[in-house]
Amino acid sequence: MTMKRKKVNPAKEQLYYPKLRPGLEAIEAQTREGEPVVGLADSWKITPTLLWFSRDMFALVQFLDGTHSTRDLELLYLNSFAKVLPTERLEAVLDLLDEHLFLDNDHFWQKFGEMQQDYRHQTKRNAKFAGKAYKNDPIELQRQMDSWLQSAIVSSRVINRVIDRSISAMVMPHIDPELGRKGYAAGYHLLSFTQPADMYVILGIAHQGLLNHFALTDKTFVTPFGEVQTASNVVHQIQQQCQTDYFFDEWMHQYEHTIEFQVLFLQHVLKHEFKILPILCSFSHAAEKNSREDEIVKEFCTALKIVLAGKKNVRIIASIDLAHIGPQYGDPSSPSRTDLARLEQTDRELLELISDPDPDLLKQRFCGDDNRNRICGYASLYTLLCLLKEQKKKGELISYGQAEMDEKRSTVSFASMIYF
């Protein structure tokens, strides 16, 4: 049953301050007649509906931030378009947003809580991208992954260095495996020579954001190759160290590929039993000191370090991609060969910086250019460097690549690294 927004008396209209909820994104398009429209989509996938608005109404929707009353919105419309916005039209838009759970109100949060609890009670995280990013049939998948791993180019010097030795951590891509096979192959081919670990900590990126910036889960991960157990005791030890609820955003695990892809490759190359510690990360380099975001990052990283310090035979994998450039990602034009060469140089400078684990230097680097190239991995990288800093480990780049994403040459770069 839909809970309608309570109608507001026009005489008290200024008392209602509508607000859009988190997890929404705008999509620009045109009608068949060529009229510009803007859609509002739910990146959290709570509702499948895509709501379309005329340009004038979307200009108003952008001001649904909880600080503008309905009366303010009518005045904004009048000042912007030199015509009166009928109260009935505004109410119809607000009712539509409420009906589809796009408003930050009791209606949305009640539904959100029900969805959270439903996922919390499930025991398995099933493969989301089987049959899409990789084969669903295990035999076909085996062949597919064998072909990807044949792309591996790793120097014998590095292989000889890791044979039957333990490593501390890896940086791996999370791009589509077909496009990023060069990076995946190099990293996981090398991993197959190392001393096996009992637990692999996978620091994935939550592309749609997390309200509490980290998301734990104790669910078993399922792929076409079978099941991988999560180290649930370790998960709960981390949570017990913290005041923030890191299961609050657990439901986002079901939609993310950044951990699923790493689990798949681990299953393929490892010949022993192992467990995983899957953690989604999402926070900004621009978080101000002592802000809620900053305090949460400190709390979680501290708890993770304390718990992992008491564990033996652990490896850490940061699942990241590097730059995203070109029209698909908001740039006005396609990158030239010179642009791509310059991008590689910039990427390699970043990779050289993180080879000596120092999260403060990483933050400075991202703040310096405000992540101009849209690197998709700051939160995972920062967490990784926090864990490695006191161990004085040294990273070595083993593979770098760039993948063309569309006909306009939009490009994503990626790399694999190993920490000894």
**Within a domain: 1:** no
Is-contact 205 385, C-beta < 8 A? no
Q: Is the pLDDT of residue 285 over 70?
A: yes
Cα–Cα distance, 75 to 127 (Å, whole number): 49
Residue 288 has pLDDT above 90, yes or no: no
Task: Give the pLDDT confidence score for residue 156 in this predicted structure.
Answer: 84
**Whether the predicted model's global pTM rises above the 0.85 cut:** yes
Q: Are 100 and 10 in contact (CB under 8 A)?
A: no
Helix (H) or strand (E) holding 200: strand 199-205
Clarify whether residues 200 and 324 are in a common domain: yes
pLDDT of 16 strictly over 80 = yes
274: burial class by Cβ within 10 Å (0-12, 13-18, 19+)? Answer: middle
Q: How far is the C-alpha of 231 from the C-alpha of 314, rounded, in Å?
A: 11
For residue 5, pLDDT beyond 80: no
pLDDT at 367: 95
Query: How many residues belong to the chain?
Result: 420
Q: What is the mean pLDDT of residues 253-276?
A: 96
With beta carbons less than 8 A apart as the criterion, state whether 202 and 234 touch: no
Contact criterion met (CB below 8 Å) for 124 and 220: yes
In a domain, 48, yes or no: yes
Indicate whether 172 and 191 sit together in one domain. yes
pLDDT digits (tens, 9 = 90+) for 234-257: 999 999 999 999 999 999 999 999
* Integer Cα distance of 243 and 257 in angstroms: 28
State the pLDDT confidence band at 7, using cuts at 50, 70 and 90.
Answer: very low
d(CA 255, CA 253): 5
Please write the tens of the pLDDT for every residue from 145-170: 999 999 888 888 888 888 888 899 99
The mean pLDDT value of the chain amounts to: 93
Domain assignment of residue 80, given as a range: 10-114
In terms of domains, do 95 and 167 share one?
no
| pLDDT given at position 2 | 39
Q: Are residues 206 and 100 in the same domain?
A: no
Q: Measure CA 173 to chain center.
A: 13
The distance in angstroms from the start CA to the end CA of the chain is 57
Give the pairing type, strands 51-54 and 411-419.
unpaired
Domains in the chain, number: 2
The closest of 125, 96, 107, 82 to 216, measured between CA atoms, is 125
Q: Are residues 53 and 151 in the same domain?
A: no
Q: How confident is the model at residue 1 (pLDDT cuts 50, 70, 90)?
A: very low
Kindly tell me if the per-residue pLDDT of 3 is higher than 90: no
Q: Are 176 and 246 part of one and the same domain?
A: yes
Q: Are residues 142 and 68 part of one domain? A: no
Do 110 and 152 sit in the same domain of this protein? no
Strand partners, 199: 275, 314
Residue 377 dihedral angles phi and psi, to the nearest 5°: 175, 5
d(CA 91, CA 70): 9
Where residue 33 falls among pLDDT bands split at 50, 70, 90? confident
State the pLDDT at residue 12.
42
Q: Is residue 3 in some structural domain?
A: no
For residue 404, which phi and psi values (nearest 5 degrees)?
A: -80, 125
Inter-residue contact 230 to 218 (CB < 8 Å): yes
* Helix boundaries (H) for 100-165: 106-120, 138-149, 156-162
**Neighbour count for residue 211 (Cβ, 10 Å):** 13
Q: Can you give the C-alpha Rg of the chain in angstroms?
A: 24
Q: What is the pLDDT of residues 58-76, one digit of tens each?
A: 989 999 999 999 999 999 9
In a domain, 4, yes or no: no
Residue 10 — very low, low, confident or very high, per pLDDT cuts 50/70/90?
Answer: very low
Locus of tokens 């309905």? 70
CATH of the domain at 358: 3.40.830.10
- Provide the pLDDT confidence category of residue 315 given band limits of 50, 70 and 90: very high
pLDDT on residue 391: 83
CB atoms within 10 A of CB 301: 19
- Tell me if 261 is assigned to some domain: yes
Residue 230 inside a domain? The answer is yes
**Which amino acid belongs to residue 291?**
S
The answer on 276 and 388 residing in a single domain is yes
Count of H-run helices and E-run strands, the chain? 13, 14
Indicate whether 5 belongs to any domain.
Answer: no
Q: Which of 240, 228, 234 has the alpha carbon at shortest distance from 264? A: 228
